[in-house]
Amino acid sequence: MNLFIAELIGTAILIIFGGGVVANVVLQQTKGNASGWIVITWGWAIGVFTAVYIVGQYSGAHINPAVTVGLATAGLFDWAMVPTYILAQVLGGAVGGAIVWLAYKDHFAATDDEGLKLAVFSTAPNIRKYGNNVLTEVIATFVLVFGVLYLASPGFVTANGEFLEAIVMNGEEVGFGLGSLSALPVALLVLGIGLSLGGPTGYAINPARDLGPRIAHAILPIPGKGSSDWAYSWVPIVAPLIGAVLAAGLYMIL
């Protein structure tokens, strides 16, 4: 499978599960309406597990620009491939958001609250203080990328697009790949982040997870959808990238 297609499909799968569980919980007249935060965090974790399990063997299943940038910063991913991966991830996020809308189209129409409709696609803070919101996302993404670097390294891709399962660093072979065995611990890491650090901002921890579906929200003909809240959109883009670079920096020091 082509690397670009793999990352697009993987990110779309992530959003189908993640955006889908939010829709099930917050939209009106669904079977899961008002079932709560625990349900949402589990839905996102299962989305990570499924996406990584399916495309990990093809692209390393970064499915997150923060992970891609973090790995590149740590010297475990070719910087030349970063734009390709990020573009695929953002497009995958938009595709996933559109699919969730199709699945819950009647429930979007049955819901009056504009904020709940937007919540299916993107994150927003419960207390809007940009400095604190950025800090929360930096911390949460730091934990994610630092954990990923130790739990499983999601693949090394060369400038010519070759995916390697292992490379030689400092005279030793370093294994890579988020295959079936590595999918579960990464999913549990995301579950833990959601439960422990998701309260203030909704734990975007992934620029593509927020930007792609937010673009879909802006484009799709959702009745009474209101604003896409672009004033906040920079936070779940910038903060996760900062957290990823910090995590990679500490990883290299250690």
Domain region containing 223: 3-253
pLDDT at position 163, please?
56
CB 180 within 8 A of CB 202: no
Q: For residue 215, is pLDDT > 70?
A: yes
pLDDT at position 165, please?
53
CB 28 within 8 A of CB 35: no
Number of domains in the chain: 1
The 10s digit of each residue's pLDDT in 90-122 is: 999 999 999 999 999 999 999 999 999 999 999
pTM over 0.85: yes
Residue 43 pLDDT level (bands cut at 50, 70, 90)? very high
Could you give the CA distance from residue 64 to residue 45 in angstroms, rounded to a whole number?
A: 14
In sequence order, the β-bridge partners of residue 175 are 166
In this structure, the chain runs to a length of: 254
Q: What is the mean pLDDT of the chain?
A: 90
Tell me the CATH number at 38.
Answer: 1.20.1080.10
Cα-to-chain-centroid distance, residue 217: 17
- E strands of 58-194, at which residues? 156-157, 163-164, 166-169, 172-175
